[in-house]
Structures are given as structure tokens and as C-alpha cells.
A and B are shown apart, each in its own frame.
Chain A
């Protein structure tokens, strides 16, 4: 019965172009996409560097990075909260309970996923093309760029995995954003709120809308990817 009500609610929400819902969707996308872009800018080079460099303790760093893919969002949220709190080291920035804080928290959450997966992609490519690149006398940064470009289709999946994590999590944004109506309320925190009000149909309806949005984004990237592959021959 709740399932039927949820579908009806979801359809009503989408059809009605509810202004508040639109704001929430926009904020969710803004926060998660910004976090993923930020994490990719750091994570892709970091992953490539880790794949190509050799230093003592590298194995431990790789294991640690892989383990951080499983960082609990609440823990990340709490850590960022303590950093950004007025009483904390970054307090004067006044970022707590703003979208900026949420972007930071999600970027921290997503960074290990993108870095660890891209390290694997680049390491595999290095095994394949390492000899060739060595014989070309390429500089390390050139090697990294070449392999990142070669692995771009696999790396999109790594970035998408990061986006999925960011868009789905609630623990971190709840703590550092505070779920303030009209300011820091996202899809996931709104779902948590409606669940706690016992309005399960509305909560599930919002959940369906969220899943549809994530599916649409993945679909668009998939289409873009196949088009790029075709034109790349």
C-alpha cells in the first residue's frame, strides 16, 4: 500500500514542479557534483602518481587508500564538523551549516574512491604499455597524462562510483549542513526528515525521484561515452 502511495507521490512531486523540491534537487546536484569535480581534480593525478611512483611504504599507502573507500560518512561528517566548528581550527571561515561545508565533506568521502580506482586503472595500463613509454624516454608527468587519457573510459566509471557515493550519502551532509530548510536541505536529508515524521510515502516518493535523477545522469554519461568511443574510432 505504501509502495503505491510512494509512486503516486513521486509522480505528483515531479508533475507538480514543486518549487521547494526543485530547490532541494538543485542543491543536491550542486553539492555532489562540485564534490566529485573537486575530488577528481585531486584524485586522478594522485591515483596516477601512486601507480607510477616507487617509494618505501608504497604498499601500505595503497592498502590505506583502498580501505578509505569504506570511510563511514558519519565519521567524515564529524571530522569536518570539528574542523569547521567555531571552536575548531577552520572556524573563522564560517563555513559550518553552509553548502560549502557539505561539498568539503563529500569531497573527502569521494576522494579515496576516485584515487584508488584510478590508481588501479593506471597501474594496469602501465603493465601493458610501460615498456613502450620507457623506450620513448617520456617524462613521468607525460607518462601519467598519457595513461590517464588512455584510461579515460574506465576512469569515467571511477568518477561515477564517486558520484554515486556522494549523491547517496546522508550521514556527512546531515552533520555539517544541519538540514536547514531552504539552505542545506538535500534529497537525502529530506528523505531522512520525512521518514522521521512518519510520512513514509513522501519519503519513499522523494527516494524514487532521487534514483531517477541519478539514473538520468548515468544514462547521459553513458550516451556521451559511447558517442566519444565511436568518434574516437
Chain B
């Protein structure tokens, strides 16, 4: 009996949590901010300054908004202005603030079958891809990037639902979509941060970037406090203020991927 109790105690000790964070908030955010490494850069600075840990659940913007709506996160950092405004309007969250922007890039095969390299007009680029019936890999997952991509097709007057064969809806996150695009040498719309950090590029390269319409603004929103425990709401407010304040903005400004700046602070002081 005693031996069994010792064994049980040893097991409990071995599996005790690595570090006990008694004070933390949960943020639902997008794969682009997590996979680019931005959170790895920001969170230690924030935690050091405030003593508040931040747990990030990185999903597509559509799912992040849903998590917020359910009251399963304290704050959101997402990128789909229309979806964000709807979220606030329906009372799921409040105090939406500009945080930063990055930009989308059109990535495609070096052989460039649609002849769009160097174009400064993303809408023209997608209509040329459609005309050439060149393979295009779409996120197809209701993420912020997917929603942005659909706006370009709409502007170009291309009905992708009717596109036979060349338009492929993957229903995957940014990384898996880039993996698939690399494997089938397809064009794909990606956020610059994920692309800069992406290692399995194979024959893909940036073909179109710099169009104003490719700018991709991120917003921070606090989740309706009635849906969250009171102490979480107060800490989430501290995060919200830090992120959009001088220190957070400076931290975003200083973030680099292989020497390249991909996120630009945008909060109005």
C-alpha cells in the first residue's frame, strides 16, 4: 500500500505543470500572427511588464470570432474589418481598435503561366489568372485571408464557384495551403508574415505585391465582459491598452523576420 502511494506521489510530481501561471488571459487570434512568430516576440515583453500571462489560440479569423462569440476568449486580435464590425454591432465585443497592418502577397510559380509578375493591381492579376485558367489554391476556410481573396475575385467579376478545375478550395490554414500550392505549383494569396517564415517554398515566389488593396489591417477587440469572469476582463483591458499603446506599438515596430519588417503599427495614439 505504502509503495503504491509513493508511486502515485511520484507520478503526480512528474506530471505537475511545468510552470504555474496563476494570472493569465486567453486570446483568440489568427494563424498569421502566431505562425509568423509575432506573438513569440510580443508576449514575453507584455508578461514581463504586467505579470499577466497570455494564452493564444491561433485559428482562422472566422473561428476566432466564433470563439469570442461563445465567450471562450477574453480578447481577439483578428483581421476582417467587416466581420469585426458585425461582432461589435451584435454585442459580442466592444472597443475595437486598430493595432497594425501587414499586407497580402500573391505568391505563384516562377514560370508564371498567367504572366502577372510585377503587376501592382491585384484585381487585374486575379482576372489574368482566371483567363489563363492557371491553378489557384484558395484557403477556403472563412479566414480573414480567404475573405480578402474572395473580395478580389468579386472585384474582377470572376465567379470562382463556377471555375472548373483550376480553382481549388482547400479548407486549410495558411501553412497547409502554402504546402499544397507548392506541391501543385499554384498561385495563392498569402499574408507576408506567414510567407516570410515559411520554409517549404519549392518553386514558389512572390509575384504581385504593393497594391493598396492588399493591405491587411488587424483589430483588437475586447469580448463582452458578461460572458467572462470579472478578473479576466480587467486583465484583458490591460492587454488591449498595452497593445495599442506606446509600448505595444514599439514592440510591433521592432519585430523582424529574417531582417524583414512585416507588421506595421497603426494604432492612433
Chain A residues close to B by CB (< 8 Å): 23, 26-27, 29-30, 85-88, 91, 94, 96-97, 178-183, 193, 195-200
Contact = CB atoms under 8 A, between A and B. Distances in A.
Contacts of A180: 26, 55-57
A29 B15 CA distance: 9
B224 to A, nearest CB: 10
Interface of A is mostly: loop
Given A87-B71, A193-B35, A197-B35, 7 more contacts: A23-B18, A97-B57, A181-B40, A182-B19, A195-B176, A196-B176, A199-B200
Contact of A198 (B55, B70, B71, B175): B175
Contact of A199 (B26, B173, B182, B199): B199
Nearest to A200: B200
B227 A26 contact: no
B212 interface: no
Contact of B55 (A94, A183, A199): A183
Interface of B: 14-15, 18-19, 21, 26, 31, 35, 40, 55-58, 70-72, 173-176, 178-179, 182, 197-201, 227-229
A27 B14 CA distance: 10
A91 B71 contact: yes
Contact of B201 (A27, A97, A198): A198
Contact of A26 (B15, B71, B197): B15
A86 B35 contact: no
A202 to B, nearest CB: 9
A27 B15 CA distance: 7
Contact of A86 (B173, B179, B182, B228): B228
B187 to A, nearest CB: 17
Contacts of B178: 198
A193 B199 CA distance: 13
B179 A30 contact: no
8 contacts: A29-B15, A87-B72, A178-B26, A180-B56, A181-B40, A197-B197, A198-B178, A200-B200
